Amino acid sequence: MSILEVKNLSHGFGDRAIFDNVSFRLLKGEHIGLVGANGEGKSTFMSIVTGQLQPDEGKVDWSKYVTAGYLDQHAVLEKGQTVRDVLRTAFDELFKTENRINDIYMRMAEEGADIDALMEEVGELQDRLESRDFYTLDAKIDEVARALGVMDFGMETDVTELSGGQRTKVLLAKLLLEKPDILLLDEPTNYLDAEHIDWLKRYLQDYENAFVLISHDIPFLNEVINIVYHVENQDLVRYSGNYDQFQEVYAMKKAQLEAAYQRQQKEIADLQDFVNRNKARVATRNMAMSRQKKLDKMDIIELQAEKPKPSFDFKMSRTPGRFIFQAKKLEIGYDRPLTRPLDLTFERNQKVAIVGANGIGKTTLLKSLLGLIPPMAGEVERGDYLDIGYFEQEAANGNRQTPLQAVWDAFPALNQAEVRAALARCGLTAKHIDSQIQVLSGGEQTKVRFCLLMNRENNILVLDEPTNHLDVEAKEELKRALKAYKGSILMVCHEPDFYEGWVDQVWDFNQLT
């Protein structure tokens, strides 16, 4: 029996169709991966099933009494709440049950109270608390907080002081503690380091309830899902198995369709040729008419147009001096130091990946080296002739410009055709180019930012989690482009599959703090 069913769903933004009459079902215990290229509508689908967006057409039916949990990275966290306070809200219903028990005990003291009935109700409520391990909640909270690295930044920290990555970790921990019937996870690994991704992988493998997962981390997907829904060309198609198995079946179906298309095109050409040669001759006119009828009734096979594939190419400027950054006794942070005093040297033509737990200062290190924030102690000496291209982890929300306007403003010497060509090289279509940036998917917004970076000449690229939100093809193309780049690269990344084999050094930030 389906616990979530979507029927005849159609939706779009303006003249851009996202879904056209698609259906979806989720059965109890299924572990679903929602996959597809950037901009195909995966996050839009999540927003529709959670009620954040109303579809243009179609129905979303949830089974009665089903609880769903959605990783909402924009949830409001109130000033004055500690991390532990937020995690304890995962058990609000149990705390209400405890309050109900206390109220019943108060009523027992009233004159004429039905003690037997009240004691029976207390017993039922007490059983409910014990079955949910209510009296060991803090130990359970600590277990999940430790596993996701939440404890690293303090359980008594005010949640409004957290970074974006830390905040997402807290919300993910709260969601897992709630243990809903259906987990809805949109790129949960973006802010997790390798150790915490391994723990989440084991957690989801053992999760007895259902979940729907969006992720471009293929090794992670392969380990945790047993059903794939593929979003492509306004359609949603169900496959059994993990991501690799889906890829095999998808490639086979695509090859079969292309072969059938080629056979049909040859048949159409032969029939049309016969009709053209014989329709005017009395002796063969009836045969020509018969073949024309066959042509008219034929169901024409259509191949979907190939999606534009990104092609990244980072321009090189003049050669810098030997030393790019030299940090001496550097302490980074805001109110308090996040590291011990650091001595770091980054030289010309080096390619370095910075790894380590989120929220411990990797982004702060980049900004300190770039001079965007002052160090708490020590100094950073920057080399000569530096042309730095900086890719920030997240872009500002609410950008009402179109990609065309954003790139044209940055490079006014280009004409409109050149701007459109530059954006198209990054894998964006005409509809993307003329839409507001704020309505594009995370991956599409990332491609716009790479377009801005690609059209400047740099000799150093400083990249903060550049693979976040990128689909598989874009990620592979970015890896190729960075390997080919002749300048220096300093990059924060949490995906070993992306950086292993081409960087010169890996700086483990866990060893620097």
Please check whether residue 172 lies inside any domain of the structure.
Answer: yes
- Domain-embedded: residue 407: yes
**What pLDDT was estimated at residue 382?**
92
| Statement to judge: residues 406 and 493 lie in one domain | yes
Residue 106 in any domain: the answer is yes
C-alpha separations of 79 from 86, 146, 155 in Å: 11, 23, 15
User: Based on the structure, what is the number of domains in the chain?
Assistant: 3
Statement to judge: residues 149 and 170 lie in one domain: no
Task: Count helices and strands (H / E) in the chain.
Answer: 17, 17
> By C-alpha distance, which of 397, 395, 439, 401 is closest to 53?
439
Residue 242's SS3 state is coil
Q: Where in the sequence is the domain holding 22, given as residue range(s)? A: 1-77+162-265
Q: Which pLDDT value is given to residue 425?
A: 94
Cβ(269)–Cβ(306) below 8 Å: no
DSSP type of residue 47 = H
* H/E stretch holding 152: none
Same domain, yes or no: 169 and 72: yes
The answer to whether position 244 is within a domain reads yes
Nearest C-alpha neighbor of 26 from the set 57, 44, 50, 10: 50
Same domain, 150 and 189: no
- The answer on 253 and 226 residing in a single domain is yes
pLDDT at 357: 67
Q: How far apart are CA 129 and CA 132, in angstroms?
A: 5
With a cut of 70, which residues of the chain have pLDDT below it? 1, 73-74, 132, 357-360, 512-513
Domain end residue (candidates: 265, 281, 311): 265
Q: What is the rounded distance in angstroms from the CA atom of residue 457 to the CA atom of residue 385?
A: 12
Give the predicted TM-score (pTM) of the model.
Answer: 0.78
CA distance 404 to 123: 66
C-alpha to C-alpha distance for 80 and 505, rounded to whole angstroms = 41
pLDDT for the residue 513: 58
DSSP of 69-135: EE--TT----TT-BHHHHHHGGGHHHHHHHHHHHHHHHHHTSTT--HHHHHHHHHHHHHHHHHTTGG
Please list, in sequence order, all residues whose beta carbon lies within 8 angstroms of the beta carbon of residue 50, skipping any fewer than 6 positions away. 68, 70, 184
pLDDT recorded at residue 454: 94
Residue 409 sits in a domain whose CATH number is 3.40.50.300
Is position 295 within any domain?
A: no
> In this structure, are 361 and 471 located in the same domain?
yes
**Do 142 and 170 share a domain, yes or no?**
no
Note whether residue 443 is domain-resident.
yes
Question: 407 and 482, same structural domain?
Answer: yes
**8 and 104 share one domain:** no
Residues 118 and 30 in one domain: no
Q: Please tell me the predicted confidence (pLDDT) of residue 90.
A: 86
- One DSSP character per residue, 426-469 reads TT--HHHHTS-GGGS-HHHHHHHHHHHHHTS-BSEEEEESTTTT
Domain endpoint, select from 118, 133, 154:
154
Asked if the structure places residue 28 within a domain, the reply is: yes
Tell me the per-residue pLDDT of 94-129, one tens digit each, with 9 for 90 and over: 888 888 888 888 888 777 777 878 888 888 888 877
pLDDT digits (tens, 9 = 90+) for 11-49: 988 777 889 999 999 999 999 999 998 888 898 999 999
Q: Give the residue from 118, 138, 154 where a domain finishes.
A: 154
- 243 with 337, same domain: the answer is no
Q: What is the pLDDT of residue 332?
A: 87
Residue 292 maps to a domain: no
DSSP string, 288-343: HHHHHHHHHH-----PPPPPPPP---PPB-S---SEEEEEEEEE-BSSSBSSS-EE
- Say whether both 204 and 260 belong to one domain: yes
